[in-house]
Amino acid sequence: MTLFAALLLDAALGEPRWLWDRAPHPAVLMGRLIGWCDARFNRPPAKPAGIATVAALVVGAALAGRVIEVLPGGALWSLLLAAILLAQRSLADHVRAVATALRRSTDEARHAVAQIVGRDTDAMDGAAIARAAIESGAENLSDGVVAPAFWFALAGLPGLLVYKIVNTADSMVGYRTPRHADFGWAAARLDDVLNWIPARLTALLILLSHGRPGLWRRVLRDAPLHRSPNAGWPEAAMAAVLGVALAGPRSYDGQLRDFPFVGPEGHRDAGADDIERATAALWRSWALMVGIVGLVAVL
């Protein structure tokens, strides 16, 4: 019931600016802690240091979650923190903002999509912008909504905080760069493990919420085309239900990378209307998950 209420509270309120303009968001605090660990401990031998750092972060997050749960009013604090760390409303708003911007101008849309993707956006055309927004929506439905809800359902607030600290660490240091290839190895691998089940659940939610379970074979075919062991699943499902080809060539740090298309039979001239359809798909998938959580809660 706590998770059910938290999902509804997040959908209703999202990320109120009046609050986060005055106080640091818990995710921001996690990011500051990880940044401090990176600056303090990322030195040779970096891989053991990274493993130890992630282990300490996991233990600390689990203990913090347990302490909060046993505080007076712990159930209320768990509800509020869960609602804050779920991201359905803000995800849908950010994805829809790209569609709105794309209808105005390509330059405005490039700026909007740059807020939610890590690839180069300066040379993107409208179709590339739309694909990037849809991909980000699908991937973050898994990372920002389904996975946190899954780990909260499984292990309460400690599970949610452990997932969020690992996912944040992966987003900050889990890159194959000279600085982070070794130090971020543990964060990246553990993030892959924690997202393995949620990514596949997300793909299933997308298909079932559209009444298209028969597309699962296409998801099984296309998900391995993605460079990520997990992100390909929700992206393949989204590509299938929308009939849009996703992924494909894109540029990182000025270098064009020729990634294959996910859902290659879909059309490749995506636009603002496709982004709007993807946003609706995010809400349909969310609604199905909320219904399942509510049903489980009352049984």
Q: Which two tokens stand for residue 198?
A: 């949620």
The answer to whether residues 290 and 258 touch, using CB atoms and an 8 Å cutoff, is: no
What is the pTM assigned to this prediction? 0.95
Q: Average the pLDDT over 112-141 and give the result.
A: 93
Average pLDDT of the chain? 95
Residue range 29-87, pLDDT digits in tens: 999 999 999 999 999 999 999 999 999 999 999 999 999 999 999 999 999 999 999 99
Distance CA 51, CA 73 (A): 34
Count other C-beta atoms under 10 Å from residue 30's C-beta. Answer: 22
Q: Which of 248, 251, 284, 250 is nearest to 267 (CA)?
A: 248
DSSP of 70-116: HSTTHHHHHHHHHHHH--HHHHHHHHHHHHHHHHH-HHHHHHHHHTT
Q: Which among 199-203, 248-252, 256-260 has the top mean pLDDT?
A: 199-203
Rounded to 5 degrees, what angle do the CA atoms 288, 248, 236 make? 20
Domain ranges of the chain: 2-298
The angle formed by the CA atoms of residues 93, 95 and 99, to the nearest 5 degrees, is: 105
Which residue shows structure tokens 């009352």?
298
**Cα–Cα distance measured from residue 203 to residue 233, given in angstroms and rounded to the nearest whole number:** 6
Percent pLDDT > 90 in the chain is 89
Reading the block at residue 262, the tokens are 């996910």
Distances (CA, A) of 96 to 72, 181, 248: 39, 34, 22
* pLDDT value at residue 16: 86
151-201, pLDDT tens digit by residue? 999 999 999 999 999 999 999 999 989 999 999 999 999 999 999 999 999
pLDDT for residue 17 is more than 90? no
> Does position 120 have pLDDT exceeding 90, yes or no?
no
- What is the model's pLDDT at position 206? 98
Percentage of the residues of the chain whose pLDDT score is greater than 70: 100
Which of the four pLDDT bands, split at 50, 70 and 90, describes residue 110? very high
Q: Is the pLDDT assigned to residue 252 strictly greater than 90?
A: no
What are the structure tokens assigned to 161, written together? Answer: 């905080």
Residue whose token pair is 């607030």: 157
Alpha-carbon gap, residue 30 to 36, rounded angstroms: 10
Closest CA to 132 of 163, 111, 162: 111
Question: In the predicted model, is pLDDT for residue 126 greater than 90?
Answer: yes
